Amino acid sequence: MTTMAQFSQALKEGEFPVSWSNNFANYGLPLPLFAHQLPAYLGALLIIAGFSVTTSYNILMFLGVLVGNLLYFYFLRRYFTSIHSLFATVIMNFFPYRIINVYIRGGLPEILASAIFPLLLISIYKINVERRVSGLFLLALSVLLLSLCHPMMLIIYSFPSLLYYLSTINKKNFSKKLIITILFAFVGVGISLYYLMPLMMEMKYFYHGLDKAPIKLSHFLGINNFINPNWYYYLTHPGPRGNFIKLGLYETSLIVSSIVAITFLIIKNSIKLTTFLKNNLVFAGFFLSTLIAILLVLPVMAPIFSLPILRSLQYPWRFLSVIQFTLPFIILYLFKLCLKKHLNAYLFGLVLLILIFRVPQLYGKNFVNNVESSYFFTQTNLHSSSLNTIWSGNTEDYPKKTTQLEVIEGKGIISNELLKNSSRRFSVISETDLRIVDYTFYFPGWNVKSNGQPVEIEFQDPEYRGLITYRLPKGEHLVEVVYRPTKIRLISRVISLISVFALIVLSVIGYKTSLLHKEGFTK
């Protein structure tokens, strides 16, 4: 919520894209460098529109849940009837990890990402089953939104998306269709590189970027997380309720039951497992995705999380996000295969059972009602001290900022101050050589000019650790301190613009020529 408020302050000053948060972590940090873009911008727009920070957050959470349900229902309708799709959507919506994200973790970025994942599945269906060009552009959009919403979730949702793609693609012109699809997916990633590229390349300036330690074993799930039916009020983890990550006893039972059902069908029909899976490819893709997701949350998989791309996920249990979508599909599919009579009654009974045990968990506990102003200035780095710059200390150890600028050596007067989120402009008249501190944590991109000439920034003085300080000679000065994009950020923005142009060009090619249509796509 503080991130949303910080973005709204910058947008009100006409700063776009937002690149600095002057009132975050006491003396300011490049919060937009690592903040989830889509929630931050959407929340900021709601705040600017006049909603409170809390209301803006609640609106986004509600929309994330609602849109996710609608899109998942729309996807299920490609395979099942309306009533059956509704049953499966209810099962998804009351999945334990989803409840934890809404009512305990407050995982808004993950909830918004979970609303986008069904859109990604829909795009693949349109590409491979309906063979429509629009599916390719929807794919690029889905990848873009996932990247801007939660880059880690893009990684997590990649393998079920790939398995679904492979289970639906036609063998005819397989290679060419795959190349075209990958091209559009890369365009989606390319548009988001203005955010992803600096995030990856400038993380080295934070303590988090120096941390090469493997993911802790405590972040994986044990047997208790699979079968314990309890929902705790308090645990060692601070928060509004006990943050006990779980798959759920009933969901675990459903997965075991699905394995039993598959075994029953194979024996009953006297066929091999490979034959069964080959005859039910989409089901096989979702079932395999579920098994992979379960495997990845277990401690036995800890060694592979030493890989940089997996270590960046922080918490292996994020893979439970996959199961919230795959499990309802699996259950519904198996019910149709195994139960020819009274199917609706059995499904209704299952959904009713889940509601009985899940609805009582739809509440928060021990929330703190913060005053509105607390979101627009924070002395603590709410994203954890690991995201402090490597040349500074804990932000709360510094005195609270009461002024932006101060003369710390020499005699001089600062006047005509124009202070903004990512810039300062002021006049200085000095009787002696001066040294000035700008109570801002230095980060690459900050520049100081006096009378149009560059001034060297110092930020490693132990007395002003990590803060912008600089020296001015005796005389009159018009000083500008401005946060500008680094070369990495400029290059990434150019790549994003090129990717937007590429998507437009591909759109024209797709709809005005026969290039894509030769591969089996239709308008």
435 shares a domain with 353: no
Q: Return the pLDDT at 239.
A: 59
Whether the pLDDT of residue 187 is over 60: the answer is yes
pLDDT for 508: 78
CA 418 – CA 427 distance, rounded (Å) = 10
Percent of the chain exceeding pLDDT 70 equals: 96
3-state secondary structure of 428: strand
Asked if 92 and 214 sit in the same domain, the reply is yes
Structure tokens at 89: 């959507």
Domain termination residue (choose one: 350, 368, 386): 368
Residues 310 and 418 in one domain: no
Question: What CA–CA distance (Å, rounded) separates 422 from 440?
Answer: 10
Task: Report whether pLDDT(170) > 90.
Answer: no
In a domain, 195, yes or no: yes
DSSP state, residue 206: B
pLDDT band at 523 (very low <50, low <70, confident <90, very high): low
Side chain identity at residue 513, one-letter code: T
Query: Looking at the domain assignment, is residue 60 inside a domain?
Result: no
Contact 42, 3 (CB under 8 A): no
Q: Which of 66, 58, 180, 48 is nearest to 124 (CA)?
A: 180
Structure confidence at residue 235 (pLDDT): 73
Residues 477-502 have a mean pLDDT of 95
**Is 497 a domain residue?**
no
Task: Flag whether 447 is in a domain.
Answer: yes
More confident residue, 440 or 134: 440
Instruction: Say yes or no: 340 and 411 in one domain.
Output: no
Nearest residue to 246 (alpha-carbon basis) of 97, 353, 95, 93: 97
Ranges of beta strands (E only) in 45-190 are none
353 and 456 part of one domain: no
Q: Which two three-digit tokens encode residue 286?
A: 């979702």
Domains in the chain, number: 2
pLDDT surpasses 70 at 509: yes
Structure tokens at 219: 């972040």
Segment of 72-81, 234-243, 456-465 carrying the highest mean pLDDT: 72-81
Do 403 and 256 belong together in one domain?
A: no
- In the chain, what is the greatest distance between 2 CA atoms, to the nearest angstrom? 96
Is residue 23 in some structural domain? no
What value does the mean pLDDT take over residues 311-333? 93
Its pTM stands at 0.92
Residue 237 has pLDDT above 60, yes or no: no
What does pLDDT average to over the chain? 91
Would residue 77 count as lying in a domain? no
Check pLDDT > 60 for residue 514. Answer: no
Q: Is the confidence at residue 304, as pLDDT, over 70?
A: yes
Indicate if the pLDDT at residue 377 is higher than 60. Answer: yes
User: In this model, does residue 365 exceed pLDDT 90?
Assistant: no
DSSP string of 74-123, one letter each residue: HHHTTTS-HHHHHHHHHHHHT-HHHHHHHHTS--HHHHHHHHHHHHHHHH
User: Which residue has tokens 């249990």?
Assistant: 317
Same domain, 204 and 266: yes
CA separation for the pair 46, 57 (Å, rounded)? 9
Coil, helix or strand at residue 149: helix
List pLDDT tens digits, range 249-294: 999 999 999 999 999 888 888 888 888 888 899 999 999 999 999 9
Are the C-beta atoms of 197 and 495 separated by less than 8 Å?
Answer: yes
Residue 290 is predicted with a pLDDT of: 97
CB 392 within 8 A of CB 446: no
Residues 423 and 364 in one domain: no
pLDDT class of 341 with cuts at 50, 70, 90: confident
Q: Which two tokens stand for residue 13?
A: 């000053």
Q: How far apart are CA 288 and CA 159, in angstroms?
A: 10
- Report the range of poorest mean pLDDT among 251-255, 303-307, 431-435: 303-307
DSSP letter for 432, please.
Answer: S
From 333, 368, 403, the end of a domain falls on: 368
> Is 457 part of any domain?
yes
Same domain, yes or no: 255 and 185: yes
Do 348 and 403 belong together in one domain?
Answer: no
Tokens 């198996």, residue located: 334
Residue 147 has pLDDT above 90, yes or no: yes
Report the SS3 class of residue 405. strand
Write out pLDDT tens, residues 383-415.
Answer: 888 899 999 999 999 999 889 999 999 999 999
* Residue 70 included in any domain: no
Whether residues 167 and 126 fall in one domain: yes
Is 112 found in the same domain as 192? yes
In one letter, which amino acid is 324? Q
Mean pLDDT calculated for residue range 61-71: 97
Mean pLDDT of 241-256: 90
Domain containing 413 — which CATH number? 2.60.40
Domain span including residue 309: 82-368
Which 3-state string (H, E, C) describes 197-225? HHHHHCHHHEHHHHCCCCCCHHHCCCHHH
Q: Which residues pair with 479 in a beta bridge?
A: 426, 450
Task: Give the containing element (helix H, strand E) for 281.
Answer: helix 281-296
Q: Is cis: bond before 32, omega within 30 of 0?
A: no
Taking 90 as the threshold, does the pLDDT of residue 68 lie above it?
yes
